[in-house]
Amino acid sequence: MSTELKQSYLFARLDEEQIQRVEAMSRRIRLSDGEHLFQAGEKATRFYLVTQGQIKLYRLSLNGNEKVIEIISPGHTFAEALMFQESPNFPVNASTIGETEVISFDNSAFFAMLRESVDTCFRLMGDMSQRLKRLIKEIDDLTLQSATGRVAGFLWGRWNAGKANGNTIELNAPKGVLASRLSVKPETFSRILHNFSEQKLIQVHGSSIEVIDEEGLYRHAESAGICGGSLSPDL
């Protein structure tokens, strides 16, 4: 487990004694596809590190529509900010995308360790600050930009982040989940992909998308002011 912990930003600079303490307060959880880890309103006594698969964080509207807030990929932690609240409850639901494994950590025990480690505390604060900055940018993207611009920004951001591996983007989440994450209806998401294909910007091959004209895709994203900055990481 120590190797998995040290690959995460939050635990990377802990010494061996601290790693052992973290291991003592942790437990590994394996979940099937679509299984819930927790639901909104439940008491939040633990936070999590994804080691395999993906976790979908989402909320439900009054009419039952699902809004995906974030998709957590391996190597990333979530729900750790809640340890700073008194008697916190989870504000979102968490379910799996595919077979998933997470490591959970006891909030109280980790918080006690933070009191002893200024460096770890500041790393956690820095991580939360970056997430807040990204969420603010995302609010702008979701509320001020068109659906076409959001999808173009997502695709270009994914391509730009992985272009060393070629021109193919692998959609590692169902298209319906990605559509919700981008605040567009599934049919709108599919229509935009079709339009981009007609414009010879991309070719869709199931869950893979080949970028044919990266400059054209960039122009769509740039005109919307997005360029993948907040909507593409880890999706």
List, for residues 99-157, the tens digit of each pLDDT value. Answer: 999 999 999 999 999 888 888 888 888 888 888 887 787 777 777 678 898 899 889 88
Residue 133 has a CB neighbour count (10 Å cut-off) of: 11
Question: pTM higher than 0.85 for the full model?
Answer: no
List, for residues 160-214, the tens digit of each pLDDT value. Answer: 877 766 789 988 899 999 999 998 999 999 999 999 999 999 999 999 999 999 8
Two structure tokens written together for 43 = 């008491």
Residue ranges, comma separated, of all CATH 2.60.120.10 domains in the chain are 1-116
Architecture of domain 1-116: Sandwich (2.60)
C-alpha distances out from residue 70 to 31, 90, 231, 233, Å = 18, 14, 9, 10
CATH class entry, domain 137-223? mainly alpha
Residue ranges, comma separated, of all CATH 1.10.10.10 domains in the chain are 137-223
List, for residues 59-98, the tens digit of each pLDDT value. Answer: 998 888 899 999 999 999 999 999 999 889 999 999 999 9
